[in-house]
Amino acid sequence: MAYSRQEDEIQLIAIGASTGGTDAIYQVLHRLPESLPGIVIVQHIPEGFSKRFADRLDAQTKIKTKEAEHGDVVEPGHAYVAPGDHHIIVQRYGKKIWLERVDQERVNGHRPSVDVLFHSVAQHFGQDALGVLLTGMGSDGAKGLLSMRLAGSYTIGQDEHSSVVYGMPKVAYEIGGVVKQHPLNDIAEAILKQVGFTKNEKRL
């Protein structure tokens, strides 16, 4: 199915995940077209494995994906995976978006932390961002997703049935951080709807 973009409101998509997240993120990204706002991803992953994960996504999806580096400018149609053992935050000046590596202590026991990314998105983007919290143990990302929602972002959580571990999205849902829960296989379609894509009749 082909898609066309009707709006230009969402400027950034932020995705967080932990246990079961590498496959969940792949399942989302491989259903997305390349003509999307930039995507920033935090997956709890050890140092040395984040680049391999980013390379896999780059090779197997339409989204050009790389391991995030300090100073990267976030481009549409590209995804950036936080490097293992380093937090990543977003900065914004007008329509220019760039990434900064923050070498602070672990947050919620994790580095990179989903909360660190999501809080920075809430601070700088508000309604111009979309947040997605996928499968994972614990609560990392829940408060950050809530802060995004309170700032005006649309927020999506993975549902219990499709989660490998229904921890992070559960906590986010319980504290009011999730606008809508979806099964994993429906999350890409939910993202497309929120960023203003509509289905075209002809197939790719």
Is 148 contained in some domain? yes
Is 4 contained in some domain? no
The reply to whether 18 belongs to the active site is yes
Residue 67's CATH number: 3.40.50.180
Which pLDDT tens digits describe the chain residue by residue (204 residues)?
A: 444 444 458 999 999 999 999 999 999 999 999 989 999 999 999 988 999 999 999 999 999 999 999 999 999 999 999 999 999 999 999 889 999 999 899 999 999 999 999 999 999 999 999 999 999 999 999 999 999 999 999 999 999 999 999 999 999 999 999 999 999 999 999 999 999 876 543 333
Tokens found for residue 60: 């197997």
pTM of the model: 0.93
Q: Which of 44, 86, 87, 110 is catalytic?
A: 44
Is 5 contained in some domain? no
CA nearest neighbour of 9 among 202, 143, 194? 194
Is 111 contained in some domain? yes
Whether the Cβ atoms of residue 112 and residue 84 lie closer than 8 Å to each other: yes
CA-to-CA dists, residue 83 to 49, 62, 95, 116, 203, angstroms:
8, 21, 24, 13, 36
Domain count within the chain: 1
CB half-sphere exposure, 96, CA atoms < 13 A: 5
The reply to whether 44 belongs to the active site is yes
Q: Which of 18, 120, 147, 162 is catalytic?
A: 18
Q: Which of 139, 140, 147, 159 is catalytic?
A: 140
Domain containing residue 92: 10-199
